[in-house]
Chains A and B, each alone.
Chain A
Amino acid sequence: MSSEKCKPRIAVFKFASCDGCQLSLLDAEDELLGVAGAVEIAYFPEASRRMLKGPYDIGLVEGSVTTHHDAERIQEVRRQCKVLVSIGACATAGGIQALRNWKDVDEFIRVVYATPQFISTLKLSTPIAEHVPVDFELRGCPINKGHLLELITAALAGRKPNIPTYSVCIECKRKANVCVAVAGGVPCLGPVTQAGCGALCPSFDRGCYGCYGPMESANTAALTNQFRVLGAPDDGIARSFRNFNAWSWQFRKASEECERK
């Protein structure tokens, strides 16, 4: 991609993930060439075979840390990046693969692989911020590509990105959706989940399943009680907190409290 010296250099790194969050950059079809004109995309293996050495001005990290090798690699990535941003639920909360954190990972390896000794993995899947200081965390499974563009724009302008921290309920009200929980009796994580998706699931007549993780000051205890009122069993409530953001401390606490009941 261009090698003009004055342009800020961006790098995209992948850890354990589905690739969807970095794909969001390529999915910004209307803005991609504009972004490529404003910055130097110095390291982005999914898009280019030209891989330039650091240091980089902005590093975007997708994925969680699940191997010894990756635990070391993230340290080097941090050293190479002036601003480091973790993108997506894997990088900010450990991702769906953090479901191993409650189980015996050796048993998991035996279930999936014929020769367990070939596999090297950690017992926990952990977010990037548990390993190195992170300058900003962009939530979502997947992230919202509008947020990603806002984040890059803000970083270039040297300001804080304008990303909402309120709940999905606010987005639902703005869209004038009928509340699926109140009117339909459907369990919905909207009241405790951070906005960002545009209240997609309630707009499709189903309950939110928490892709953006816990909102600021999420009251999971009150929501758990409400789920019980709707007739949901405790194991079902625990599972609803155990998805892509299961290892975030708020959802972790909520699911473990349900399991203790």
Chain B
Amino acid sequence: MRSAAKTIRVETLARVEGEGALFIKLAGERVADVKLRIYEPPRFFEAFLRGRHFSEAPDITARICGICPIAYQMSAVHAMERALGVAIDPAVRLLRRLFYCGEWIESHALHVYMLHLPDFLGCQDVVELARDHKEVVERALRLKKIGNRIVTLMGGREIHPISAAVGGFYKVPSKPQLVELVEDLEWALEASVDTVRLTSTLEYPDFEQDYEFVALRHAGEYPFNEGRLVSNRGLDIDAAEYEDHFVESHVKHSNALHSAIRGRGSYLVGPLARFNLNFDKLPLIAQQAAQAAGLHPPIKNPFRSIGVRAVELVFACAEALRVVREYEPPAVPRVPVTDRPGVGQAITEAPRGILYHRYALDEKGMILSAKIVPPTSQNQKRIEDDLREYAAQLTTWPVEEATWKCEQAIRNYDPCISCATHFLKLKIER
């Protein structure tokens, strides 16, 4: 007979981006301690951004994360445009949505199929998954590739694309170039609906939490680059007010700062939050796919995030098709931007949740200070809270199975540890 778990320990978390470890201590039926330890070394972006020109921020901050570089580029350009009082062309706005669609498709396809699905089907990785489910993996790879194709068309390459600029893009695609995407996108839309259906056949642990969901909300669309920051507990603020409502603390076991809502504690960002707060803004095809799979907001079971991510795949494909059809190139790829002092904040929706940037600039447009709060550092506290509750259900389980389930509970958040470590906070706490 196998013994029940006393401690659950994972020295190297797999199928997440970056380096983390997990430690859970059980005392009988009780969870005595939970530590999600982030040992990824710090890289100090906020410190070395000082003294760089505003125009360099999109290319430099992209290097925080190879999985979601566009999110960093988008939050950077929007924050800079606010600091510098720049208004962009509506066609550029559309193109930025398409750019984000590409990143969401690539990132969500990667996570749903290659990082998360293996847990549900008892596989170690996607290669093992391909042995019994080859057609599923082939669909995953083609979907992912279509996301990457959008990014490459618009930015030259999949990782750290080079076209994003403050004021617009260095170069914009022609209408015929975008129209060439239509056939792929129509296939991807169908494949995404199939993905939602696939997730409805999986088994989910019986586990719900009473979360505070935080996401952008925009009057007319499912959020990417713009909107008020809202929650299901009454938060409704502009990006400029972010630091009045959120606070970060530095804990010893982590090189990533923990973020909390002032006076309330942990909160959740990412697909579940967006879906629950913006279901009415999803296109009909995404709403129908969700409902057919039994996904009705609010979803409070974090394991079901895989289905919600799949619904967002449907959204991203449908939105990309809309942009391709409506697009007419702007008069100029980017509007001229002049150096001047200012402070600008922006929040955009990275695949994993809200990404906050703030910059202060001097009269030559040089960065005086920078603050970046990535989604994973915001979810980190919430992940530990989930583990504390969830591990209590596993106290009688054999240690190996309990460990795997806890890893899966972490992967519910698609954590990007590389991001979380590289951005912490700028202000010195006194």
Contacts and interface: CB of A to CB of B under 8 A. Distances in A.
B19 A14 contact: yes
A211 B44 CA distance: 20
Interface in B380-430: 404, 407, 416, 418, 422, 424-426, 428-429
A111 B170 contact: no
B13 A67 contact: no
B42 A121 contact: yes
Interface in B156-184: 156-160, 162-163, 165, 170-171
Contact of A27 (B12, B56, B158): B158
A32 B141 contact: yes
Contacts of B124: 1, 48-50
A231 to B, nearest CB: 15
13 contacts: A17-B418, A18-B65, A20-B67, A20-B159, A27-B148, A36-B127, A45-B15, A49-B15, A49-B125, A96-B45, A111-B44, A112-B46, A114-B428
B52 A239 contact: yes
Contacts of B337: none
Given A118-B250, A119-B42, A51 B14 contact: yes
A163 interface: no
B16 interface: yes
Contact of B66 (A20, A41, A103, A244): A20
Contacts of A23: 17, 66-67, 159
A198 B52 CA distance: 27
A204 B428 contact: no
A115 to B, nearest CB: 5
Contacts of A205: 170-171, 333
B131 to A, nearest CB: 9
Given A112-B425, A142-B160, 14 more contacts: A19-B65, A19-B66, A36-B127, A45-B13, A46-B15, A47-B114, A66-B41, A70-B41, A96-B45, A103-B47, A105-B44, A115-B252, A204-B162, A204-B170
A256 B65 CA distance: 28
Interface size class of B (residues with CB under 8 A): 35 or more
B156 A48 contact: no
Interface of A: 1-2, 14-24, 26-27, 29-30, 32-33, 36, 41, 45-51, 66-67, 69-70, 95-97, 99-100, 103, 105, 107-115, 118-119, 121, 125, 141-142, 197-198, 200-201, 203-206, 209, 211, 236, 239, 243-244
Contacts of B270: none
Contacts of B300: none
B126 interface: yes
B345 interface: no
A112 B44 contact: yes
Contacts of B118: 49
Contacts of A243: 59-60
A119 B14 contact: no
A259 B176 CA distance: 46
B128 interface: yes
B228 interface: no
Interface in B293-342: 333
A19 B426 CA distance: 23
Contact of B127 (A20, A24, A33, A203): A33
Nearest to B404: A49
A41 B41 contact: no
A73 B3 CA distance: 33
A18 B66 contact: yes
Interface string B358-383: 00000000000000000000000000
A1 B127 contact: yes
A73 B405 CA distance: 29
B211 to A, nearest CB: 26
Nearest to A45: B14
A103 B171 CA distance: 35
B43 A16 contact: yes
A239 B14 CA distance: 37
B157 A142 contact: yes
B137 interface: yes
Interface centre among A15, A16, A115, A239 (most CB of B within 10 A): A16
Contacts of A21: 66, 159
